[in-house]
């Protein structure tokens, strides 16, 4: 009797999981984004980067941002790059000054350690960067990010030039050996697949600040919202929660528009990073929170029920049901990895999929309850 009840619970779980896959995640493959480098009406753009003690990363990544192909008919750059040096005590100031001598479209703002702050963490630096931005179109990334190509900027702002107000891009991580790196890259792929699917279903709810474009009007609207000053980071998700709508949001998934960063090397440092990233989950719209909770809950429940049924002797039905669910998800994820040029993830899919249940259990307090009160 108990085994039968658990089997029916697995049936419901698989039905919900497959429903999510077909209704949300399959939409990732539906619409084709604008091709990289194609601009019908190119407009000037301000790229804003906040940096605190990022001299090494800026030296490595900033040239690729400053060498983007985005010009007018005369060959003049149609973008500026603003780096906000937020109270750094390394060589950031010196490096930026030297690079400004080489690149006329780069300039920086320096925030002193003793400057009075009216916004927490990164928000204060972002405020200054946007306030000094010359142009109406804004593109955000981080000092530890490098664009995948010289067409990154053009691809990311193309939807803005077509009338959108928010553009969400993919922020991936460099490949390294080991389970941690594979899980980080899989989790990033899974999050983007989920985010893009929701956005294309008319429910945009999140973005990644290391590859995000919007109009200045949208940023200022988010900055004036009540939740903006509640946490030091999370500007990307708060902006989406406040301002994103089906009609004004676009997702760009072409590989030329990606950014890449170095992934964390230890589980502890990665968990600390994720705690900070997830601290704005409580500010999602109620309907979105319910959908995300139902998806994560049935995902975890399935991975708990499946081995219980295997042990209890009901393995033929359990294997068929959960095998169907896994086949659907792993095919979708392999197709998404191919589209995003995320290679060598296929062998890790079973471990990452099952591990995500543990991930949600460990980090759920930071999604729904706690705020991280520091930026770095």
Instruction: List, for residues 27-69, the tens digit of each pLDDT value.
Output: 998 754 444 444 557 899 999 999 999 999 999 999 999 999 9
Q: How far apart are CA 253 and CA 339, in angstroms?
A: 8
Number of domains into which the chain is organized: 2
Question: pTM to 2 decimals?
Answer: 0.92
Separation between Cα atoms, residue 166 and residue 164, nearest integer Å: 6
User: What is the mean predicted confidence (pLDDT) over 285-290?
Assistant: 92
| Portion of the chain with pLDDT greater than 70, in percent | 92
Decide: helix, strand or coil at residue 212.
strand
Domain annotation covers residue 373: no
Residues 230 and 141 grouped into a single domain: yes
Q: Which residues are paired to 212 by β-bridges?
A: 140, 168
Are 18 and 129 members of one domain?
no
Look at residues 264, 282, 300 and tell me which one is the last residue of a structural domain: 282
Report the CATH number that the domain containing residue 131 is assigned in CATH.
3.90.550.10
For residue 192, being part of any structural domain is answered with: no
Judge contact between 168 and 198, C-beta under 8 A.
no
What span, in angstroms and rounded, lies between the C-alpha atoms of 357 and 173? 21
Q: Which domain holds residue 363?
A: 2-28+287-368
**In terms of domains, do 154 and 126 share one?**
yes
> Are the C-beta atoms of residues 113 and 79 closer than 8 Å to each other?
no
- Of the chain, the percentage scoring pLDDT greater than 90 comes to 78
Q: Find, among 94, 231, 218, the residue nearest to 166 by Cα.
A: 218
pLDDT for position 169: 97
């Amino acid at each position: 009797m108990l085994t039968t009840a658990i089997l029916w619970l697995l049936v419901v779980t698989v039905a919900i999981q497959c429903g999510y896959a077909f209704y949300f995640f399959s939409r990732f493959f539906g619409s084709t984004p604008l091709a990289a480098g194609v601009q019908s009406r190119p407009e000037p753009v301000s790229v804003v980067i906040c940096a605190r003690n990022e001299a090494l990363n800026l030296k490595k990544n900033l040239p690729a941002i400053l060498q983007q192909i985005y010009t007018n008919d005369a060959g003049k750059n149609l973008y500026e790059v603003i780096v906000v040096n937020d109270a750094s005590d390394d060589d950031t100031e010196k490096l930026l000054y030297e690079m400004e001598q080489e690149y006329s479209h780069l300039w920086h703002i320096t925030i002193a350690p003793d400057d009075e702050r009216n916004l927490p963490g990164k928000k204060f630096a972002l405020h200054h960067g946007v306030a000094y931005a010359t142009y109406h179109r804004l593109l955000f990334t981080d000092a530890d990010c490098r664009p995948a190509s010289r067409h990154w900027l053009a691809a990311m702002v193309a939807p803005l030039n077509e009338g959108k107000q928010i553009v969400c891009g993919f922020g991936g991580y460099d490949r390294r050996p080991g389970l941690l790196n594979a899980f980080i890259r899989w989790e990033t792929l899974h999050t983007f697949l989920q985010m893009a699917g929701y956005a294309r279903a008319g429910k945009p709810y999140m973005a990644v600040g290391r590859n995000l474009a919007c109009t200045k009007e949208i940023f200022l609207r988010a900055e004036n919202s009540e939740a903006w000053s509640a946490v030091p980071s999370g500007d990307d998700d708060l902006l989406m929660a406040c301002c994103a709508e089906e009609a004004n949001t676009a997702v760009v998934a072409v590989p030329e528009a990606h950014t890449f960063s170095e992934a964390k090397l230890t589980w502890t440092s990665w968990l600390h990073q994720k705690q900070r990233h997830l601290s704005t989950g409580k500010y999602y719209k109620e309907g979105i929170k319910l959908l995300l909770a139902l998806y994560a809950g049935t995902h975890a429940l399935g991975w708990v029920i499946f081995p219980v049924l295997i042990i209890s002797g009901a393995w033929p039905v359990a294997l068929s049901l959960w095998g169907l669910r896994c086949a659907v998800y792993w095919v979708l994820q392999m197709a998404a990895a191919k589209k995003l040029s995320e290679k060598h993830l296929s062998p890790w899919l079973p471990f990452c999929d099952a591990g995500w249940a543990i991930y949600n259990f460990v980090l759920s307090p930071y999604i729904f309850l706690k705020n991280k009160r520091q930026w770095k």
